[in-house]
Chains A and B, each alone.
Chain A
Amino acid sequence: MMLTAVPQMGLLDTAAKERIHEASLSILEETGIQIDSEMVANTLQEHDIPCEVTGKQGDRTLWRVKFDRDTIMKSLKTAPKGITLGGRDTKHDLYLDGKGSPDSVYYGTLGSAPVVHDIETGERRLGTLNDLAEFARLTQQLEHLDFFHVSVMPSDVPNCVVELYRWKATFENTAKHSITAASYDARNLPYLLEMVAAVQGGEDELRRRPIFSATECPIAPLFFAERAAENMVGLARAGLPVIIYSEPFAGASSPVTLAGTLLVTNAEQLAGIALTQIANPGAPVIYGGVSTTMDIRSGNISFGSPETGLLNVATTEMARFYEMPKEGSGGRTDSKLVDCQAGFEKQGNLLLAVLAGANLNNCAGTLESNYAVSLSQLVIDDDIAKRTKRILAGITLDEETLGVDLIKEIGPGGQYLGSPHTLAHMRQELCLSDLCSKGTYEDWVKKGSLSLEQMAQKKALDLLNVSEPSSLEPVVVKELEKILKSAEKAHGLT
């Protein structure tokens, strides 16, 4: 009998998860969330969810929205338990199940980073649209990365339509599923939907296997500000996937205790899920807790902290409790360099996240607590993803892999080097790194005494040299350009 022993981990037992769930319900029922969007308030009121005006923030009205238990439970019932995310090419489709099966665990980039570490000069500078295209193209080439979180926030395009430039460059340069905030200005959302429909050849196909999903962030604690809340509702209505991207950081925007931060995250998730399900029952929605901690010395966010790893496990377990797909922060780092700190923070926290079964693990390419991205780091993270996938594949146990007869046959003092069993299994049993130094010292010297970063840099440049700039049909590229132009016109740009 074949058995695959897959490593898994968990922190919370059922009683603990129920306790978090009940406490979240009580927060949503008694304290509720804040919103500042009339459109969202109207939508909620149409569904008999009470919204109480609490005051003004400048010229915006603030509402307090309280959700009762029934509303939340009903939303959890209608939220899909599994979601297919499309690639522009169907071979990149991702199926996210709500159970955290190892074959439903994926790795990808992360970003919207304003800063890029230039791969050729090493200069730390503002990112450009060309950088974004390069990150997308390299991600397309890297085998172990499954999706593309739009890595760069380009500084060289008009601010009011920056998201549309980002989406366009993304669709042009990668056929993998793409993720980022849908829009920073609600007026741009219809243009994005036009763009994706153009890329996918119509809205039906788009809904069947959407090539993008949108991370929409509440502002912790418990504030669903205008643009994100309107996108949650707008995308849900369009039947497109939303990731409720809660990012509380312990000690600053949530309690310093991990339990308290977990609770704020979960309460925000339930509220976000409710927003999407009230707008359109059954709309695809992903549990997106990326909770982290504050570095109490500097006040900076700390993605590389061990507690961030624990929070990633616990939020994934809460998603599992609701049988919902989960996006988490995977392995990120606070290091300013491609260095040892980056390596252990990333691998350590990524491993925790995937052992808990998080579906979408976004982290590749980032440095500096996500403030910067590096193509060399992207290549290294692909290698980390490869190792991690190998760990997750576990140990296969059957007669063939056990090799009882073989061991008896070769006996004491023998060797397995040229045995057919070795030849038959070595490629799938043993994970090879393209980057890590594994041979002898002399061999390493002969190959140029390169550091890991130098190896990664070389691989990145080689891959970029051979990558296709665009695999989109020229007619579609033209269409995207047209849509972008009309958006610019609507904003008064010529």
Chain B
Amino acid sequence: MAAEVQEQGLQQKAKEAIITLNKAAAIQIAEQASSEMGASELVDFIEGGFKAGIMVVGDRFGKGDMFLPELVAAAEIMKSSLAILEPKLRENQVAQEPVGRIVIATVKGDLHDIGKTMVSSLLMANGFEVIDLGIDAAAPNIIDAARKNQADMICLSALLTTTIIAQKEVVDALKEMGHRKDFKVMIGGAASSQNWAEEIGADAYGADAQEATEIAIDLLKK
């Protein structure tokens, strides 16, 4: 009974650490949990603690009570905290099922990072596992990463009207390799559009981080 109460207390603290953007506390809580809890307890702890916290942040962001930089910070704190717990989870082969697994990148030739980071953060805040390949990512690398990580979805960002063509290259390469049906593809970034998504055969276009997340939730439900 006492142990359970303490466990709930730690879970509650983890949630609060995320909501209050307290990185030092989050890390300390993760370390404590890692040493005190068994692997299967950890899964529940993450769900009810860190993940519950970031869902609150995502919700408050949606309502306009918290702002984008806070959402990005929360996602980063969560990532650092989960990294502490990961070895124990992996060691014990405890499967953690995310809402969905997404590989995201800014496409080849485009060096703009910020819009993609925003989308990445909001996806994480909504329970997705996000593998962020950074900027200037070539089609083969993106597809390799999606296959290796058994991703459900590929998100492709392009800011420049001259680089959106690289979004098409990824879709074309997926088709050529016979993997188009293995992944949903969403495009975004200032230069892309709904029309472009339709033209190149992507599944969706996300106009901003909020819309991209809503679409991801919707697409991966199906």
Contact = CB atoms under 8 A, between A and B. Distances in A.
A113 to B, nearest CB: 9
B111 A219 contact: yes
B162 A184 contact: yes
A114 B111 contact: no
Contacts of B135: 57
A296 B64 CA distance: 9
Contacts of B67: 296-297
A20 B145 CA distance: 44
Contacts of A256: 69
A225 B193 contact: no
Contacts of B64: 297
A147 B138 CA distance: 38
A162 B111 contact: no
A225 B106 CA distance: 15
Given A126-B195, A251-B69, A299-B68, A162 B162 contact: yes
A160 to B, nearest CB: 9
B68 A294 contact: yes
Nearest to B118: A299
A256 B111 CA distance: 21
Contacts of A296: 67-69
Contacts of A219: 111-112
Contacts of A225: 111
A226 B126 CA distance: 36
B136 A253 contact: no
B48 interface: no
B162 A253 contact: no
Contacts of A153: 161
B209 A299 contact: yes
B208 interface: yes
B88 to A, nearest CB: 32
Interface residues of A, number: 27
Contacts of B162: 159, 162, 184-185
Contact residues of B: prevailing secondary structure: loop
A112 interface: yes
Task: With a 10 A CB-CB cut-off, give which of B114, B165, B190, B208 has the most chain A CB atoms.
Answer: B114
Contact of A112 (B108, B138, B161, B209): B161
A415 interface: no
Task: With a 10 A CB-CB cut-off, give which of A185, A252, A256, A294 has the most chain B CB atoms.
Answer: A252
Interface residues of B, number: 25
Given A223-B111, A225-B111, A294-B68, A299 B208 contact: yes
Contacts of B208: 298-300
A47 interface: no
A155 B160 CA distance: 12
Contact of B161 (A60, A114, A251, A299): A114
Nearest to A295: B68
A126 B114 contact: no
Interface string A415-456: 000000000000000000000000000000000000000000
Contacts of B138: 58
B201 interface: no
A300 B119 CA distance: 12
Given A112-B161, A252-B114, A57 B190 contact: no
Contacts of B161: 112, 114, 153, 155, 162
B158 to A, nearest CB: 11
Interface string A125-161: 0100000000000000000000000000101000100
A371 interface: yes
B136 A114 contact: no
Given A60-B136, A126-B195, A297 B68 contact: yes
Contacts of B195: 126
A150 to B, nearest CB: 12
Interface string A165-192: 0000000000000000000110000000
Interface string B146-184: 000000000000001110010000000000000000000
A297 B118 CA distance: 11
Interface string A4-34: 0000000000000000000000000000000
Given A153-B161, A298-B209, 15 more contacts: A58-B136, A114-B161, A114-B190, A114-B193, A115-B193, A184-B160, A184-B162, A185-B162, A219-B111, A251-B69, A256-B69, A299-B114, A299-B115, A300-B208, A371-B190
17 contacts: A57-B135, A57-B136, A58-B136, A58-B138, A112-B161, A153-B161, A162-B161, A184-B162, A219-B111, A251-B69, A252-B114, A253-B114, A296-B67, A296-B69, A297-B67, A298-B209, A299-B209
Interface of A: 57-58, 60, 112, 114-115, 126, 153, 155, 159, 162, 184-185, 219, 223, 225, 251-253, 256, 294, 296-300, 371
